[in-house]
Every structure is written in C-alpha cells, then in structure tokens.
C-alpha cells in the first residue's frame, strides 16, 4: 500500500508554479555588506595586519596535535567541501527534481553557480598566490605572491555554494529554513576543519565564506540568462522529437529486405513496377513422329527458327521455370513409329 511519502516521489502531472527569487532590497543590502567584508579581509591580509598575526597564532597552536582523536573523522568530513563529490551528490538530487517538476532550472542554476565559483575564486587564488601554513617560509609574513593557491579557501566556498543551492531552490518556506540551517552548519564545519588540519589560514576560511555567500546572493541576476538557456534547450528537444515523429517505416513483406531510406509522412509511396511476363521459348528440335514432308519443310525454315531460338535464349529471363511447370508440346504427326505398316486384315503365321 502506497503512502504519502512515496506518492511525493512521483512525477507531477504538469509543471508547478515556482516562485523565482528576485533581487530584493534585503538581498541587495546583504550583498553589499558581504562585498565590504570581502574587501576588508583582502586588504587586512595585504597590509599584514592583526589578522595575519592571528593566522600565525592559530597555525603555531597546531590544533591537529591538540585533539588527535578526531583527526580521522574530520579527514572524511572535509570531503563535504570538495567540489567533485559534492557536485555529483547535489546534481543527482537536483536531476530528480528537474524530472519531477518538468524543468531544467535546478540543474542550470547549479551549473551557473559552480561556473561563477570557479571563475571568481580561481582568479583571486592565482592573482594573490598565497602559500599555505605547511609551506610558510617566514613567521609573521602574509606569504602572498609566492606561487600558492589557497586564498580564499576553495573547500569553504564550495561548501557554501553547493549546499546553499538546496536552500536557494527550495519551494516552501519551511524547507528553505531547514536547508539554510543545514548548509550553514556544513559550511562552517568544513571551514573550521581545514584550519584544524592545517591546510588553510583562518583568513582563508573567512574569505571563502564571503566568496560563497556572494555567489548565492547574486544568483537572481543570473535568472534571466538561465530562463533563456532552458527555453533554447527545450526548444531544441521538441524540434528533435517532432522530426522523429514525421519519419514512418515503409511496410515490408515478410522475408523481404528492409529499405535503407524511409519516406517522410505525406510523401506518396513509390509505386511497384509490374513484373515482366515470362516469355515461352519455342521448341528447339523437330516434333517427334513428324513425316518426311514436314521434315523437308522444317529443313527449309531451320535457319530462321534457329536464329529465333538463340535470340529468345539470349533475352533476360525474369525467373527460372521448373521442368514440371513447362507447357507440354503436342507432336504434329502420328504417334506411331515410322516403320509401322497399316493392318490389312491378313494374319501372318510362322
């Protein structure tokens, strides 16, 4: 017996009305405040302020040596911030939602968010070139422009974006609240775990949180582009399906070879050519039992008849005629042998 839980897994009969988030005043204010925080973190690291000093204090404290019993567990937990595994898990969930709601928007939103994440975070990482705690060369230095790629933290930013997408795409206020809390816990946990493991500075994590939050807050600006992309993809799919429906198979008899090209609907079917009638060949030899007079007459026309026979045999035959299907030839003369004499009524005795 089916329950309401399993009924909710079925595909909806028609696309539901989904309210797309817009750039409201609250969201715009949060975007401006987060941008200011982002710039402040970058400037504080560039000038080697108190934030860099705090980075070194946390690094020299070595949390992974203070609490070694949780090291193995946090090694697995930090995977929730890696781009590959998390993108696959979230894409599977959003793919099911796309199928259920008859829309590609969830998958397109995820793709747009990951693209923005790679471009923005990757550009800052390469531009600043900061080294990680394990590769630091001078105590108290910001370790900038040294060929590194850890500022901001990619794990932290990816955790904010990937898990925050679930709350952004939620269709009910209750689901949005629960998913927002879940994504916040995962993002905070992943960021602090990287500090515990010594792979990132504390300032890297702060900038990663800000970078991921900026992408989530700016997604409403990408909604018109996402809508146009969805319309183009669905239009191309409908055109392909319509083209396939116009192609109909040609009826083929049993055992006959199937044609390689199918005509389109509305085109007249090709008319079959009538089969050629079999041409009966003339008898080659003289009929059995013909008299001497017939033989003389036949001898005069033998040359002409022989030419006709050869011409007939040279013509292409539509099909072979079995011996049992040939027409019997009736002899023109008597069936008696030529040496038999007529009976005169007298008996001859020996």
- What is the distance between the alpha carbons of residues 309 and 311, in angstroms, rounded to a whole number? 5
User: Which of 19-33, 46-60, 110-124, 240-254 is the least confident region?
Assistant: 240-254
In sequence order, what are the residues at sequence separation of 6 or more whose Cβ sits closer than 8 angstroms to the Cβ of residue 233?
104
Q: Which of 35-39, 107-111, 334-338 has the lowest average pLDDT?
A: 334-338
Mean pLDDT of 308-331: 54
Query: If you average pLDDT over every residue of the chain, what do you get?
Result: 79
In the predicted model, is pLDDT for residue 9 greater than 70? no
Burial 219-258, CB ≥16 within 10 A → b, else e = bbebbeebeebbeeeeeeeeeeeeeeeeeeeeeeeeeeee
Two tokens at 79?
Answer: 């995977």
Instruction: Return all residues near 326 (Cβ < 8 A) that are at least 6 apart.
Output: none
275-307 confidence digits (pLDDT tens): 555 555 454 444 444 444 444 444 444 455 555
With a cut of 90, say whether residue 8 has pLDDT above it. no
Q: Which residue has the tokens 């599977």?
A: 92
Six token digits for residue 177:
């609240």
In terms of DSSP H, where are the helices of the chain? Answer: 4-7, 25-46, 50-61, 63-66, 71-77, 83-101, 105-128, 154-168, 173-197, 202-218, 223-245, 292-300, 302-314
* 36-85 confidence digits (pLDDT tens): 999 999 999 999 999 999 999 999 999 999 999 999 999 999 999 998 99
Res. 184 pLDDT band, cuts 50 70 90: very high
Question: Backbone phi, then psi, for 123, in 5-degree steps?
Answer: -65, -40
What is the C-alpha to C-alpha distance for residues 47 and 39, in angstroms, rounded to an integer?
12
CA count, 13 A, side-chain hemisphere, 91: 12
């Amino acid at each position: 017996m089916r329950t309401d839980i399993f009924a909710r897994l079925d595909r909806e009969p028609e696309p539901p009305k989904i309210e797309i988030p817009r750039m409201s005043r609250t969201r715009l204010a949060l975007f401006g405040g987060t941008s200011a925080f982002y710039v402040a973190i970058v400037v504080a690291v560039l000038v080697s302020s108190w934030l860099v000093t705090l980075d070194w204090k946390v690094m020299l404290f070595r949390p992974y040596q203070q609490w070694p019993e949780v090291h193995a567990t946090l090694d697995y937990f930090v995977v929730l911030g890696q781009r590959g595994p998390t993108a696959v898990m979230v894409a599977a969930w959003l793919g099911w939602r796309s199928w259920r709601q008859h829309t590609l928007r969830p998958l397109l939103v995820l793709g747009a968010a990951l693209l923005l994440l790679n471009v923005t975070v990757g550009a800052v990482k390469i531009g600043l070139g900061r080294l990680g705690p394990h590769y630091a060369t001078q105590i108290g230095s910001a370790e900038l422009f040294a060929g590194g790629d850890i500022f901001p933290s990619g794990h932290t930013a990816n955790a904010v974006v990937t898990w925050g997408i679930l709350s952004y795409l939620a269709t009910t206020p209750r689901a949005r609240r629960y998913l927002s809390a879940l994504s916040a816990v995962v993002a905070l946990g992943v960021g602090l775990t990287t500090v515990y493991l010594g792979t990132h500075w504390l300032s890297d994590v702060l900038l990663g949180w800000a970078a991921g939050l900026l992408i989530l807050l700016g997604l409403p600006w990408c909604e018109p582009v996402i809508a146009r992309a969805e319309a183009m993809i669905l239009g191309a799919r409908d055109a392909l399906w319509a083209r396939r429906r116009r192609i109909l198979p040609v009826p083929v008899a049993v055992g006959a070879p199937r044609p390689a090209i199918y005509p389109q609907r509305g085109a007249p079917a090709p008319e079959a050519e009538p089969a050629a009638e079999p041409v009966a060949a003339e008898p080659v030899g003289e009929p059995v039992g013909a008299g001497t007079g017939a033989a003389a007459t036949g001898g005069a026309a033998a040359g002409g008849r022989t030419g006709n026979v050869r011409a007939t045999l040279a013509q292409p035959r539509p099909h072979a005629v079995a011996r049992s299907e040939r027409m019997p030839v009736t002899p023109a003369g008597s069936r008696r042998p030529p040496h038999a004499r007529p009976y005169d009524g007298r008996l001859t005795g020996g």
